[in-house]
Amino acid sequence: MEVNYFYYKENIHCDICPNLCQTGYGVLKTEYKLNSSASNQSYEIFLCKSCFLGTVSYLKSQKELNYLFDENFDFAQIDNLGLK
């Protein structure tokens, strides 16, 4: 995921809610090859700050569920998911 907090002249609208991304935006972006076919699947979703933080919260919950029964997993690391 690429996060961009620079001002651009173009108006960027959140793809999830009707908000205009005024203070910055996040981009959820991926490209991958489908099975053995020659075609690629790609996504680019623009997110306002609120929707971006909601997405991060969802991903933290998913990671917690994935390691729920792992006795060696340090759940404290979930709080820092994606932070640089």
Q: Residue 58 carries which side chain, given as an amino acid letter?
A: Y
pLDDT for 25 beyond 90: no
Tell me how long the chain is.
84
- Tell me the pLDDT band of 57, cut-offs 50, 70 and 90: very high
Domain residue extents for the chain:
2-80
The residue behind tokens 């935006």 is 25
CA distance linking residue 47 with residue 51, whole number of Å: 6
Give the pLDDT band of residue 54 (cuts 50, 70, 90). Answer: very high
- Look up residue 26 and give its DSSP letter: E
In the DSSP assignment, the letter for residue 3 is E
